[in-house]
Structure 1
Amino acid sequence: MRYSELVDIYEKLEATSSKLGKTGIIADVLKAAPAELLPKLVMLFYGTVFPPWSEEKIGVADKMMIRAVAKAVGMKESEVVASYRKTGDLGLSAEQLIAKKRQKRLAARALDVNKVFDTIQKIARQTGAGSQESKTALIVELLSVAQPKEAKYIVRTVLEQLRMGVAEGIVRDAIAKAFGIDTDIVESAWYVRPDYGEVAKIAKERGVAGLKKIELVIGMPIMVQLAEKAPDLKSAVEAFKRPVLEYKYDGARIAVHKKGDKFWLYTRRLENVTEAFPDVVETCKKALMAKECIVEGEALAIDPKTKRPQPFQRLSQRIKRKYDIAKVAKEIPVNLHVFDIVYLNGRTLFDKSLEERFNILKKTVKPIADKIEFARRLIPKDLKEAEAFYKKALSEGQEGLIVKNLDALYTPGRRVAGGWLKVKPVMETLDLAIIGATWGTGKRAGWLGSLILGIRDPETGKFLECGMLGTGIKEKKTRAEDVTFEDMTKMLKPYIISQSGHDVKIKPKIIIEVAYEEIQKSPTYSSGFALRFPRFIRLRPDKGPAEADDLNRIKALFEIQKGKAPAETGEK
């Protein structure tokens, strides 16, 4: 398939605002393209060349791209910068500059999708001394033979700024439409093999039967089962004939994959954190008795002196760590509290009840004090015993309880009625993206503040404004887990898209947990809702943009709120 054909499809997608329209365009492509090309095509629709769980990143910043465009068109870098200032889009600048220089360029060779995809992967894999020059040379190689419109999309893809409005739901629906398969079947396959490119290939080659037979693969993450929110402990306990209570730890959900002497650790958002937790890997080498298995647990940061659990914020310092990992592992030791097993020695355990899976887990894991233990659990005799267990969890610094059905099967990727319920004493919070901010003045000069909060539109994948936050972030760090304006600024600066005066627009990459007093209808914000008195609770590095809360969630919370008290109709 020629890359120019994909560019024509990109143009159609950009010109189409409706979800149904985009779905139809992609469905036609999936139906017509050869099966072996589908994994690459789907990734390119997302604007990437790696599956979601890959640790590999393209790693090209604006400065390198400016240099590459300048070399490709034979201009000074300052001329490219001048164009970029006018367009605000390096892809558009590349298109315009290449069009101007067209007569002076060599006759362009036809690029195909495989060549572009493979070269961008090669760009990402340049490391060590001279890697910056190698990356630049590979970009120049593509741009030197690209037609103007091809150059626009190559630049945007390499910078990971494609912005096609193609969310996972659109690709899911396109696969269903292209091959005449029920959407739920497509989505269920993705939960076990979270790569819609691979799912599309299997759907085309083997249809419904192939999707239903998809098995999880050791070393490849799955979308873990999730818990629904219960209004209170009593209703959660009464929801199941045979309930079991487990501590809800203030940590990070971790799936440990073992195959012989090889280990992988994944978060719930599919991040590979194996290198960040070498101590957990060493513990699992001693504790996991099976040749092959996938166990799930909650990694909890522990105070090395008191042995008390630490807030999630302490653990998050390890998740993103790239340097001095061994040193930080000693400063912030981790205890893995295991609670489930989904795979054992070649057999998927989704068809086993929770009770059966836990019995298998007990035979598979050998506990090691303060390093790997079974999650605290209780099968309550009555509500009084359940309440006492709940109070104990809170007194020990945990978030609350997860109430589970002993007879329930494991369902990847879903909050399933009749499965798991979470009980927490705090008000319901929202996980939101930061999509804008304002540069501070006076004593806050040089810091970003007045953060614009974004709620995800599930139809388009775009983020819509729902409030402005300045409370909860510290000016000075008094505790290790505090997040300061300086910390937040360092995190957000790499994702600034544009600036107008003191206001900046930010790529929705940083997810934070936000508390608030109430939700109001708002004519001002693009979501139609505003959070009154929003307050920063914590960073959510375990969640990506696709896992941020969406409009359906805020609408549901607004309706619940209306049932308790009269709703406001405007902002205060």
Structure 2
Amino acid sequence: MQFSELCVALDALETNPSRIEKTKILSDVFRRVQGEEAGFTVYLLLGKLAPDYEGIEIGLGDKMIIKALSTASGATRDSVEKLYEKLGDLGLVAKTLLESKRGATLLDYVGGQRNPLNIQDLHAELLRIARTSGEGSQEEKIGLLTRLLSNSTPNEAKYIARMVSGDMRIGVAEPTIIDALASVYTQGDTSLIERAFNVSSDLGYVAKTLATGGVEGLRTIKVTPGRPLQPMLAERAASLEEIFERMGGRAALEYKYDGERMQAHYYDSQITLFSRRIENITHHYPDVASNLQEGINSKSYIVEGEIVAVDPETGEMLPFQELMHRRRKHGVKEAVKRYPARVVLFDVLYVDGVDYTSKPYLERRRKLEGIVKPSEFVVVSTATVADSVQRAQEFFDSAIDAGCEGIMAKTLDPSVGYQAGKRGYAWIKFKREYKSELTDTLDLVVVGGFYGKGRRAGKIGGYLMAAYNPSTDTYDTVCKVATGFSDQDLAEIPKLLEAYRIPQRHPQVNTKIEADIWYRPAVIFEIVGAELTVSPMHTAAYSKVREEKGLAVRFPRFTGNIRTDKSPTEATSVDELLEMYNSQLKRVEADGA
């Protein structure tokens, strides 16, 4: 397929907010692409070049893209910057500049005749830019991008600029693409496609497999060391009684550790650590990787666990925020010494050629305990089986005393295996209650910022927070938070968020509130509050509780935790908020009875 044809579809996706219509548009695209093109198309739709775990990034910031646009269009860099300030979208800047281009640039003379771009060639050129490294690589990258833009139509340039900047602005994520692929290949049944994606974390590979081998090809995608699985996710419970009601009166219980969830893959005598967000984090934790290689007796495996920070003097567990000092590009050796880490393993997904995801909890647990050689820095999670609320309360209290944030309850149903990528009541998390009506923290996405007053005048003093709505693939606002921030937070957080700052509201952000600053949905804050209330100003669960009103967090406060281990689509969902609100109502009614 020619890239110009895909751009017509991208225009339609951008202007049509309906997920149903987006699915129809994408279905038409997937009927027309052939073979490997299907995989490249998926990556381009998502603004990526490869699956997340490969860590391939183009490595060009806005200023370098502006420089390439200036050279490709013949406009001055100052005029390009002013146009960007006005339009707030490098894609629209690229299109406008090439539409209004006057005369010929130097590249027109040296580059020769323009050749139509197809999807495969475009992907190859963008990969070439991403893989350019070494001395002088930035200028070489800019040169390659300039040549690519010069060989593009204005509309092609619009989407090339967006791909390079990492923000396609078409409101499409993996779930919509899965729906479209199902429409074309499986008569609308998403289950096989979801399973293939959840065990491979590579939707481009799934699409290519479907296009080249059909449904039978899809069945060949299996759990494989080196390809991270989407993590199984837990629902929340407001009480231990609720857990036992849902679990049928008996459940496995484990300590819930306050660390970073990771998946370790060992094969061909090498080990790779992946984060909950499917990022390769091996370089952050070389000590964990080494300790796992020595601590697990197996030729190949995939295990899951929690990396926790420990006090080097006492060996006691430290809060999650201490572990985040390990998330750095430089000074890793010093960080290992200053912030040592222990890995607490809680599941096994693959061992020596055997897929354990289809096996029940107790069988996986026995296998995990059988291959781990416990040491100071590699242990198996503390666990028990309980059949009463009293026993569960005792176990919960011991978890809190041990420095954990709560417990995980896991089903003992022998028909239930490890459900990669699924959130459900097979796993339930129960955390320490706070002194408020809200019985749990919320993981909310930063979508906007507000300038402060008084002591915070001239600085960003508060943030607009949103929950993820999987039904619409949007981020629906739920509160403005301005408390809980230390002076250091107020100085450092704006620097962290600067990389995600955009001139206008992101198209996936659903809000009635006008922020002073807008951010691309990327960073998650952990928030606590007094209660959930009905609000005319916020859009989360809009009209679900009361007509033309949403849900809001009353008295929100930042806990100090930035959830770098979660992607924005893993934030607290609108459905979770609605369930928490209904649970809150039940408690209030019970108290008043």
Q: If the TM-score is normalised by the length of the shorter chain, which range does it land in?
A: over 0.9
Tell me the residue number matched to 1:62: 62
Q: What does residue 570 of structure 1 align with?
A: none
Corresponding residue number in structure 2 for 1:8 = 8
Given the two structures, how large is their TM-score scaled by the length of structure 1?
0.92
Q: 2:526 aligns to what?
A: 513
- Distance, in Å, in 2 between the alignment partners of 1:182 and 1:169 is 13
Structure 1 contact 341–349 (Cα < 8 Å) conserved: yes
Pairwise CA distance, 1:347 = 1.4
1:275 counterpart (271, 283, 295):
283
Q: Which residue of 2 aligns with 1:457?
A: 469
Contact kept? 1:223, 1:412, Cα under 8 Å:
yes
Query: Which residue among 473, 478, 492 is the counterpart of 1:466?
Result: 478
Does residue 260 in structure 1 map to residue 278 in structure 2?
no
CA distance in 2, matches of 1:254, 1:47: 25
User: Once the two structures are superposed, what CA deviation does each residue of 1:219-256 show, in whole Å capped at 9, x if it has no partner?
Assistant: 11101222222332344346246532211111111111
AA matched with 1:354: Y
Paired residue secondary structure (1:379): strand
Q: Establish whether residue 530 from structure 1 lines up as the match of residue 537 from structure 2.
A: no
Q: Distance in 2 between matches of 1:134 and 1:20?
A: 42
CA distance in 2, matches of 1:388, 1:242: 15
Is this contact kept in 2: 1:143–1:151, CA < 8 A?
yes
Q: Return the letter of the residue paired with 1:18.
A: S
Q: In the alignment, which residue of structure 2 is the partner of 1:439? A: 451
CA distance in 2, matches of 1:339, 1:561: 31
2:297·2:371 contact (CA, 8 Å) conserved in 1? yes
> Does the alignment pair 1:367 with 2:371?
no
Q: TM-score, normalised by structure 2?
A: 0.89
Match of 1:147 in 2: 153
Match of 1:563 in 2: 586
Question: 5+ unaligned residues in a row in structure 2: which ranges?
Answer: 434-438, 506-513, 541-549
CA displacement, residues 396-455 of structure 1 (integer Å, 9 cap, x when unaligned) = 1101111223434222122344x3222222212221111111233553245322211122
Instruction: Tell me, yes or no, if the aligned pair for 1:181 and 1:208 is still in contact at 8 Å.
Output: no
Distance 1:104 1:260 in 2: 54
SS of the residue aligned with 1:412?
coil
- Which residue is 1:217 aligned to? 224
Farther off after superposition, 295-304 or 203-212: 203-212
For residues 564 and 383 of structure 1, the distance between their equivalents in structure 2, rounded to whole angstroms, comes to 18
3-state DSSP class of the match of 1:104? coil
CA distance in 1 between partners of 2:47 and 2:524 (Å):
20
Q: 1:268 to 1:240 in 2, by over 3 A?
A: farther
Structure 1 residues 228 and 456, CA gap change in structure 2 (3 angstroms):
closer
Deviation at 1:213, TM superposition (A): 4.2
**AA of the residue aligned to 2:276:** R
| 1:47–1:163 Cα contact (<8 Å) kept | no
The Cα shift of 1:208 comes to: 3.6
**Cα gap change, 1:145 to 1:359, in 2 (>3 Å):** same
Equivalent pair of 1:181/1:207 in contact (CA under 8 Å):
no
- Contact between 2:6 and 2:29, CA under 8 Å: does it hold in 1? no
Inter-partner Cα distance in structure 2 for 1:270 and 1:345: 22
Partner of 2:420: 412
Contact kept? 2:251, 2:387, Cα under 8 Å = no
The CA distance in 2 between the partners of 1:379 and 1:454, in whole Å, is 37
Residues in 1 aligned to 2:83 and 2:394: alpha-carbon distance in whole angstroms:
66
Q: Who is 2:543 aligned against?
A: none
Structure 2 counterpart of 1:479: none
* Equivalenced residues, count: 556
Query: Kindly tell me: are residues 23 and 234 of structure 1, through their superposed partners in 2, closer, same or farther at Cα, counting changes over 3 Å?
Result: same
Gaps of 5+ in 1: 477-483, 567-572
CA distance in 2, matches of 1:229, 1:555: 12
Instruction: Name the % identity.
Output: 35
CA contact (8 A) 2:95 2:158 kept: yes
* Distance in 2, Cα, partners of 1:564 & 1:385: 23
Cα-to-partner distance string for 1:128-170 (whole Å, 9 max, x where unaligned): 3211101100110101111111111111111112111012211
Alignment RMSD, CA only? 2.1
Give distance in 2, aligned partners of 1:205 and 1:133.
Answer: 38
The letter for the 1-side match of 2:94 is: A
Does the alignment pair 1:46 with 2:50? no
2:508 aligned partner: none
Determine if the alignment matches structure 1 residue 300 to structure 2 residue 308: yes
Deviation at 1:74? Answer: 2.0
